[in-house]
């Protein structure tokens, strides 16, 4: 297939590009490098089945030749990003999704939306199933990302119902691995960066809030399976192995040999207390579940960060 990946120079987008190329497809990565980096795709220079286009998807998207699929991954995706770039986050979720869907309609292409567990907000249902509508503060500081993705899901389903676009929606839970940005602002790079520098790890609140961490290769496998499936409605992809943030910090200190311990800071506004995917649907429809153990994935991620920590 000939496939367009928006946000293709980002953390997840670049791993997805690698998987699609490995499967034999021709891939175009589109990115305005707001939060992505050409470092993530530099290894693809000279690959005849790969093309990079520098473009902001909130503007009209033009692709000359045919497309078989569009995977819309363009968006700031960490609290640091969408608190610093709130309007850009809303625009890529609304205008960017509209433009990408319009292109899918024009090309007769399959469309896959990268949505997020953030559509569930600070959930009152645990673990979260795809039929849960969420508990989101639309005017809080995190609301720009949550509502951008909820709107994107609504528009995706509207294009499916109104125009017959062949759509997929993946709800991505916490994912980690190589190519995360050092200053990403999310818990994994924050903890690893502090640990490798011999600093105490910053835990917000008392650390009792939980997350479920999925290694990037597992996530990409689930997304690829969803792309190739016939499932139109949202599917959770994530690791259901829940862990408290405090325990997670202790694990990283152990793996890095960091003796500086942990320091506690106030909990940010609207920070979810629990986040755990119910992946029953992914198991049933896609035959998918995560395989990489947390210690193995963290070891690979720590090694990758260690090689980049001293770069300017």
CB 76 within 8 A of CB 145: yes
CB 82 within 8 A of CB 16: no
CB 162 within 8 A of CB 266: no
Residues annotated as catalytic (active site), given as ranges: 145
Give the number of residues written for the chain. 312
23/26 Cα distance (integer angstroms):
9
Query: Based on the number of CB atoms within 10 Å of its own CB, is 34 exposed (0-12), middle (13-18) or buried (19 or more)?
Result: middle
Alpha carbon separation from 13 to 18, 113, 173, 305 (Å, rounded):
9, 12, 15, 19
143/86 Cα distance (integer angstroms):
9
30/28 Cα distance (integer angstroms):
6
244/10 Cα distance (integer angstroms):
27
Residue 105 CA from chain centroid, whole number: 24
**Neighbour-count burial for 207-237, b at 16+ CB within 10 Å, e otherwise:** bebbbbbbbbbbbbbbbbbbbeeebeebbbb
């Amino acid at each position: 297939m000939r496939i367009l990946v928006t946000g293709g120079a980002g953390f997840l987008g670049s791993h997805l590009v690698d998987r699609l190329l490995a499967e034999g497809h021709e891939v175009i990565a589109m990115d305005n490098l707001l939060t992505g980096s050409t470092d993530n795709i530099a290894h693809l220079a000279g690959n005849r089945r790969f093309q990079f286009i520098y473009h902001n998807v909130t503007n009209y998207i033009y692709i000359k030749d045919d497309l078989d699929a569009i995977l819309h991954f363009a968006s700031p995706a960490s609290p640091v990003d969408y608190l610093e770039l709130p309007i850009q986050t809303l625009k890529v979720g609304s205008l960017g999704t509209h433009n990408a869907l319009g292109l899918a309609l024009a090309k007769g292409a399959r469309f896959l939306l990268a949505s997020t567990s953030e559509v569930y907000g600070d959930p009152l249902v645990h673990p979260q199933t795809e039929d849960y509508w969420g508990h989101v503060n639309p005017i809080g500081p995190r609301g720009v990302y949550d509502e951008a993705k909820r709107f994107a899901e609504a528009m995706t389903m509207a294009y499916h119902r109104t125009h017959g676009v062949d759509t997929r929606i993946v709800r991505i839970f916490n994912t980690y691995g190589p190519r995360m940005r050092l200053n990403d602002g999310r818990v994994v790079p924050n903890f690893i960066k502090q640990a490798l520098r011999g600093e105490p790890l910053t835990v917000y609140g008392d650390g009792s809030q939980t997350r479920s961490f999925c290694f990037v290769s597992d996530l990409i496998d689930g997304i690829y399976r969803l792309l190739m499936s016939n499932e139109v409605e949202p599917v959770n992809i994530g690791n259901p192995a829940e862990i408290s943030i405090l325990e997670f910090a202790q694990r990283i200190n152990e793996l890095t040999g960091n003796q500086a311990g942990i320091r506690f800071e106030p909990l940010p506004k609207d920070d979810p207390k629990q986040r755990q995917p119910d992946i029953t649907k992914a198991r049933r429809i896609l035959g998918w579940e995560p395989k990489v153990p947390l210690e193995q994935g963290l070891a690979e991620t720590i090694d990758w960060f260690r090689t980049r920590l001293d770069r300017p």
